């Protein structure tokens, strides 16, 4: 192919889409199955999801060249549901945006218990669809053999959930500041430091599980896709690939292990800070993964 | 205050969602464009590489009929004669040049070497990937062969370019839409051959019915020649015949599976992997939760 058809903006779109789906999934699961100690995480997840969906759509529209001259032409992307994966994604992201906004409104003003739970369940389906879509949309591209593995959407799905959870954790103080009800529950939680640090510790364990699964899926993806050489032999893309493994997978695992050793030693501030560093690394790794796959696939056939 | 949900409530909510979702989707205008009905059988073009002399008349004729401007090109230093090398919004036809064989000292380079040229463009697949993936229904396959597109419907997402097995559709920055070979449908409608076929001096390009084209390909295969487009991605309306493998021209190998079949295959395998991975994650989380509960129980008993 002569030039990149999809560039860094598309990678950003897929990255933000993954965060949006993952954050909402975590938000809904926490709301359904966890106690009030995790309420602030649920609200943070809903807020992150809303912002990420909006940001992803803005980035997508910036990537789509025709939008700049004929904005309404983009509405045509809704037409081929469910035949075209981009059409499916357009519908899913739009629906997820609506559900995320409704969830944030319910978090602000409260709401009927049953309505909240129904919104959660519909949101879970949409959020899983969103994270899967970010990988499937690439896998369906037959002209790019590098993307032609069913483990690519699986990898993006797990990575999306991981980055969504991570971003939701990272944004808890912001969510607490923006949403007064969450703020109250955050300060209540923070005052009971043991609970707050405990939540960090527990979510880190979930992140570790997801990271291990991501490593396994990455190995399966590399093993099943043709033209793997691009990732392994010394090009700029392969350097980025190794950066993803180090920054996005191995270092966060190490930090999680380091934090688990600090538990019950009264070093709460260190746990909070190192957890945040690990979260930023996971997010950076998530973006690099999408960039490497997107650009690498187009460069090598 | 967050209430915990019971299993029964969760199932009720899930059931309600499953009822509501299909109702919401009911009545959507899916924008599925019915193929334009066109009398006559499917048309096809057979490209015989063994007859091509590389004159590029087809490339020029394509530019002329479709009023496509010239493209600034460069002479390659690596002995590459394909020029331009890639499809673009204004270059729908490329003649691929390939020097095949090894230099032979004894025959001063003439014995082991041969030139082969392949006149390449949109293959007009029988079940086109570009049509299948386009979110805007901007592309469609006409019943007599050509894969066409609607400039006004294109959203410029580039999905057709990525999904096309040969990366044919190209976005035009001036028209804000993709463009590609149309198989000269406007000539076909007048009972004429595509412009590239009409100017070929050696009959390397021949216009005929698809059925006949497939018979010609079968005869060529029986004579030990290679063919391309009979089976690939479910078959195409442009069928190639050559005495050298098509991999020499950089044409990828594809199975007979169509785009829809390919998508189904990916989706089924992904679903299988998803169930397995999802199960593994849930099992790991459950194990972790049980272990944590046991540790907390031990701690509280120790504390007491």
pLDDT 10s digits, B97-138:
998 877 666 665 566 778 899 999 999 999 999 999 999 999
Decide the pairing of beta strands B139-141 and B43-48: unpaired
Query: pLDDT tens digits, residue range B48-80?
Result: 999 999 999 999 999 999 999 999 888 777 767
In terms of C-beta distances under 8 Å and separation of at least 24 residues, what long-range contacts does A112-116 make, across chains too?
Answer: A113/B3, A114/B9, A114/B13, A116/A31
Class of CATH domain B43-256: alpha beta
Closest CA relative to residue B232, chosen from B180, B133, B165, B159: B165
Q: Report percent pLDDT > 70 for chain B.
A: 82
Q: Which residues of A touch B156 (CB under 8 A)?
A: 64-67, 73
Q: Report percent pLDDT > 70 for chain A.
A: 95
B171/B184 Cα distance (integer angstroms): 19
| Contact status, residue B43 vs residue B210, Cβ threshold 8 Å | yes
Give domain limits for chain A. 8-299
pLDDT number for residue B105: 64
Q: Would you state the structure tokens that stand for residue A102, as one six-digit string?
A: 């409704």
Cα-based angle B147, B150, B155 (whole degrees, multiple of 5) = 115
State mean pLDDT over A179-194: 73
Query: pLDDT tens digits, residue range A66-100?
Result: 888 899 999 999 999 999 999 999 999 999 999 99
How does residue A183 score in pLDDT terms, banded at 50, 70 and 90? confident
CA-nearest residue to A198 within chain B is: B292
| Beta carbons of B32 and A83 less than 8 Å apart | yes
How does residue B36 score in pLDDT terms, banded at 50, 70 and 90? very low
Query: pLDDT tens digits, residue range B149-187?
Result: 999 999 999 999 999 999 999 999 899 899 999 999 999
Taking phi over 0 as left and psi of -120 to 50 as alpha, with beta for the rest, B98 belongs to beta
Give yes or no for residue B21 having a pLDDT over 90.
Answer: no
Give yes or no for residue B271 having a pLDDT over 50.
Answer: yes
CA dihedral A220, A223, A225, A228 (to 10 degrees): 130
CB count in 10 Å sphere of residue B201: 10
Question: B132: distance to nearest CA of chain A, Å?
Answer: 6
Query: pLDDT tens digits, residue range A39-74?
Result: 889 989 999 999 999 999 999 999 887 888 899 999
| B205 backbone dihedrals φ, ψ, rounded to 5° | -110, 125
- For the whole model, what pTM was predicted? 0.89
Mean pLDDT for chain A overall: 90
CA-nearest residue to B275 within chain A is: A154
Q: Report percent pLDDT > 90 for chain B.
A: 66
Give yes or no for residue B37 having a pLDDT over 90.
Answer: no
Question: B273: distance to nearest CA of chain A, Å?
Answer: 7
B31/A96 Cα distance (integer angstroms): 22
Query: pLDDT tens digits, residue range A270-288?
Result: 998 999 999 999 999 999 9
Alpha-helical segments (H) within chain B: 7-25, 57-65, 129-133, 159-163, 185-188, 195-199, 210-222, 259-303
State mean pLDDT over A93-119: 90
pLDDT number for residue B28: 34
State mean pLDDT over A91-119: 91
The answer, yes or no, to whether the previous bond of B273 is cis (omega within 30 of 0) is no
| Beta carbons of B9 and A117 less than 8 Å apart | yes
| Beta carbons of A80 and B135 less than 8 Å apart | yes
Pick A163 or A38 by higher pLDDT: A163
| Beta carbons of B32 and A121 less than 8 Å apart | no
Give yes or no for residue A8 having a pLDDT over 50.
Answer: yes
State mean pLDDT over B91-96: 96
CB under 8 Å to A49, separation ≥6 — which residues? A19, A20, A21, A23, A24, A27, A96, A100, A103, A127, A164
Query: Rg of chain A over CA atoms, in angstroms?
Result: 19
Taking phi over 0 as left and psi of -120 to 50 as alpha, with beta for the rest, A53 belongs to alpha
Query: pLDDT tens digits, residue range B242-261?
Result: 999 999 999 999 999 999 99
A287/A15 Cα distance (integer angstroms): 6
How does residue B27 score in pLDDT terms, banded at 50, 70 and 90? very low
Identify the CATH homologous superfamily for domain A8-299. Answer: Formate dehydrogenase/DMSO reductase domain (1.20.1630.10)
Mean pLDDT for chain B overall: 85
Pick A238 or B103 by higher pLDDT: A238
């Amino acid at each position: 192919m002569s030039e990149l058809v999809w560039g860094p903006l598309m990678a950003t779109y897929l990255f933000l889409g993954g965060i949006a789906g993952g954050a909402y999934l975590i938000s809904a699961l926490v709301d359904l199955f966890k106690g009030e100690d995790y309420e602030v995480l649920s609200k943070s997840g809903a807020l992150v999801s809303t912002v990420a969906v909006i940001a992803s759509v803005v980035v997508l529209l910036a990537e789509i060249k025709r939008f700049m001259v004929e904005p309404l032409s983009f509405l045509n992307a809704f037409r081929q549901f469910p035949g075209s994966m981009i059409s499916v994604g357009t519908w899913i992201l739009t629906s997820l945006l609506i559900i995320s906004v409704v969830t944030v409104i319910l978090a602000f003003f409260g709401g009927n218990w049953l309505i909240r739970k129904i919104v959660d369940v519909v949101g879970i389906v949409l959020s899983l669809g969103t994270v899967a879509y970010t990988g499937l949309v690439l896998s369906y591209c037959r002209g790019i053999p590098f993307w032609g593995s069913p483990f690519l959407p699986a990898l993006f799905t797990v990575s999306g959930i991981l980055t969504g959870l991570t971003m939701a954790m990272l944004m808890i103080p912001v969510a607490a500041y923006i949403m007064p009800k969450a703020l109250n529950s955050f300060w209540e939680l923070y005052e009971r430091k043991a609970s707050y640090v405990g939540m960090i510790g527990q979510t880190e364990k979930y992140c570790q599980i997801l990271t291990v699964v991501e490593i396994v899926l990455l190995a399966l993806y590399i093993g099943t896709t043709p033209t793997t050489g691009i990732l392994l032999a010394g090009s700029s893309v392969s350097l980025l690939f190794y950066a993803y493994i180090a920054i996005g997978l191995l270092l966060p695992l190490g930090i999680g292990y380091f934090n688990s050793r600090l538990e019950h030693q009264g070093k709460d501030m260190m746990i909070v800070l190192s957890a945040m560093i690990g979260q930023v690394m996971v997010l950076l790794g998530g973006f690099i993964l999408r960039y490497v796959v997107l650009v690498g696939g187009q460069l090598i056939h | 205050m967050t209430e915990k949900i019971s299993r029964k409530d969760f199932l009720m909510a899930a059931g309600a969602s499953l009822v509501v979702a299909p109702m919401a989707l009911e009545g959507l205008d899916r924008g599925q464009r019915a193929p334009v009905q066109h009398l006559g059988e499917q048309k096809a073009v057979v490209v015989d590489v063994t007859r091509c002399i590389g004159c590029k008349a087809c490339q020029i004729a394509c530019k002329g009929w479709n009023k496509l401007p010239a493209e600034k090109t460069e002479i390659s230093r690596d002995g590459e004669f394909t020029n331009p090398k890639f499809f673009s919004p204004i270059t729908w036809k490329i003649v691929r040049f390939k020097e095949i064989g090894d230099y032979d000292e004894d025959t001063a380079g003439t014995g082991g070497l041969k030139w082969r040229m392949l006149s390449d463009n949109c293959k007009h697949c029988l079940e086109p990937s570009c049509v299948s993936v386009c979110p805007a229904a901007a592309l469609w396959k006409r019943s007599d062969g050509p894969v066409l597109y609607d400039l006004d419907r294109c959203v410029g997402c580039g999905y057709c370019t990525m999904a096309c097995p040969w990366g044919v559709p190209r976005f035009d920055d001036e028209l804000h839409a993709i463009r590609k070979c149309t198989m000269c449908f406007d000539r076909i409608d007048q009972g004429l051959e595509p412009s590239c076929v009409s100017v070929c001096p050696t009959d390397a390009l021949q216009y005929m019915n698809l059925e006949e084209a497939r018979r010609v390909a079968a005869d060529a295969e029986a004579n030990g020649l290679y063919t391309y487009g009979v089976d690939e991605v479910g078959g195409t309306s442009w069928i190639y015949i050559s005495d050298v493998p098509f991999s020499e021209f950089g044409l990828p190998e594809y199975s007979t599976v169509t785009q829809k079949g390919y998508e189904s295959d990916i989706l089924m395998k992904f679903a299988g992997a998803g169930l397995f991975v999802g199960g593994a994650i849930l099992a790991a989380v459950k194990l972790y939760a049980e272990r944590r509960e046991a540790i907390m129980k031990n701690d509280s008993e120790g504390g007491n």
